[in-house]
Amino acid sequence: MTSTAPRRVLIAEDEALIRMDLAEMLAEEGYDVVGQAADGEQAIALAEELRPDLVVLDVKMPKLDGIAAAQRIAGERIAPVVILTAFAQRELVERARDAGAMAYLVKPFSRNDLVPAIEMAVSRFREVAALEAEVGDLTERLETRKAVDRAKGVLQKDLGLSEPDAFRWIQKTAMDLRLSMRQVADGVVEHGATGAAGA
């Protein structure tokens, strides 16, 4: 990581050994583990109190499961959430996504799986925040997000950009041309990267 302050992470996992391993893995990767919770209720309380940059939640926890906790944390826009689980069922993935989780990891996972999932979650969270700042209406926001996601796919293919870089391209182009991100995204989808200016 660069000279910027390390990302502050909250971990919620009911198995103490896994929680310790995860904290150690994160610390070795340069993250600052600011809190640890053993259940969903404690995770929400700590997230509200500590305002971390990221929350890592296990699905199966006492009192309140990780998906319900994710829904509260994501709903209050506290921080991006990464869900951990031992199960890769599609229904569980969909529930986690609908609850607002930005990334998903199946146990056992390695450090090589963890860091990209965290960075993807942080990146997606920023995108959602930027779209929400631009678009007030919920239905319009959803349509804008879909358009931006389609445009990111086009930019990734046409220009060889990463997903976060494609989003920044749309954001910067919108600012440069004084257009909304939706207008730029629609232009990219219709005409490709070069046609965005004519959106």
Note the pLDDT tens digit of each residue in 85-136. 776 666 766 776 666 677 777 777 777 777 778 777 777 777 766 666 666 6
β partners of residue 194: none
pLDDT-derived band at 162 (thresholds 50, 70, 90) equals confident
Q: Which two tokens stand for residue 137?
A: 């209406």
pLDDT tens for each residue of 5-52: 788 999 988 888 888 888 998 898 889 999 999 888 888 898 988 898
Contact between residue 38 and residue 63 where contact means Cβ atoms under 8 Å apart:
no
Its pTM stands at 0.60
Predicted pLDDT at 34: 92
Which of the two residues, 2 and 139, has the higher pLDDT score?
139
Query: Contacts by 163-166 with C-beta closer than 8 Å and gap 24+?
Result: 163/120, 163/123, 164/123
